[in-house]
Amino acid sequence: MIIVDRISEMQALMRQYHREGKTIGFVPTMGYLHEGHAALIDRARQENDIVVLSVFVNPLQFGPNEDFARYPRDFERDRHIAEQHGVDVLFHPEAGEMYPGPLTVQVVVKARMDVLCGRSRPGHFDGVATVLTKLFHIVMPDRAYFGLKDAQQVAVVDGLIRDFNFPIELVPVPTVREADGLAKSSRNVYLSPQEREEAPALYQALRAAAAAVDGGERSADAIRRLVKEHIEAHTHAEIDYVEVCSYPDLAPLETLHGTVLVAVAVRFASARLIDNIILELPKAHRQED
């Protein structure tokens, strides 16, 4: 595995791979790798000649009161996991390499950002879209792998790739969970033992929503209520949002139809957690339903 921390070195290496006719799969992360990241790497490994992993905690996507400074970091561990999963190139730039001075141009996300985490974290997706624009130009991948745990991020990246004509195939990867259903996250290490015990209630609430929809429930309000009540009954967390919207457009829904995202974010004392499920329903709502 080659470890690169310079942008110019990375671009030279990537151009060489392209000249050799090799396909490049790219997995962008903020490190502190877990099985969720590994699932992205494994998928990229199956589908490409070269797998590039980036580990970069991007200051631009954190708000002033968020956890940038204390975000967990362990490069030696990440490097070991990357190697075990067959990563070819690990890109690990310093913040000063990515942002040598104030930006003169920034990417601003115009749609799919005024709901869910975009509403709770102003500027977050501008930071994500800006760093990904840079990373896409640095890595020049054929495919880029993103986890559906961050479904809104997948929707925003889909827009970025289309609108800016990146010749990149977006590959969404299903959420990897702990045995008790909790979505794997680098931030789970913040949880106290009691919060860790309560946290699976998020996914349980989403499963209950899926079961209600299976049973014929089509009211977005009823689904929101059900998820909220389950979380309130089983955790001490403060609910940030429970939303039901179309996917990937993230438009609000009153009646469920088509591809539907049910998403939740909660604040425990020590960590903000998110989770979601995507449900496939018949496209048009029929009168007789």
Strands 272-280 and 259-267: antiparallel
Q: Which of 141, 147, 200, 248 binds ligand AMP (CB under 6 A)?
A: 147
* Residue 37 falls in the annotated catalytic set: yes
What's the one-letter identity of residue 62? F
Which of the ranges 110-118, 131-139, 183-191, 252-260 carries the binding residues for ligand AMP, by CB under 6 A? 183-191
Q: Could you give the CA distance from residue 167 to residue 143 in angstroms, rounded to a whole number?
A: 9
Are 155 and 276 a contacting pair, CB within 8 Å?
no
Name which position in 150, 195, 198, 275 contacts ligand AMP (CB under 6 A): 150
Catalytic residue among 18, 34, 37, 230: 37
Confirm or reject binding of residue 185 to ligand AMP (CB under 6 A): yes
Do 56 and 131 contact (CB within 8 A), yes or no? yes
Q: Which of residues 32-61 bind ligand AMP (CB under 6 A)?
A: 36-37, 39-40
Dist CA 59 CA 182 (whole Å): 26
Q: How far is the CB of 139 from ligand AMP (least distance, A)?
A: 14
CA distance 114 to 98: 27
Measured distance CA(120)–CA(148) in Å, rounded:
19
For residues 23 and 18, give the distance between their C-alpha atoms in angstroms, rounded to a whole number.
Answer: 7
Nearer to ligand AMP, 25 or 147 (CB): 147
Task: Give residues 226-255 in contact with ligand AMP (rule: CB under 6 A).
Answer: none
User: Nearest distance from residue 80's CB to ligand AMP, in Å?
Assistant: 16
Q: Which residues bind ligand AMP (CB under 6 A)?
A: 29-30, 36-37, 39-40, 146-147, 149-150, 173, 175-176, 183-186
Q: Catalytic residues, which ones?
A: 37
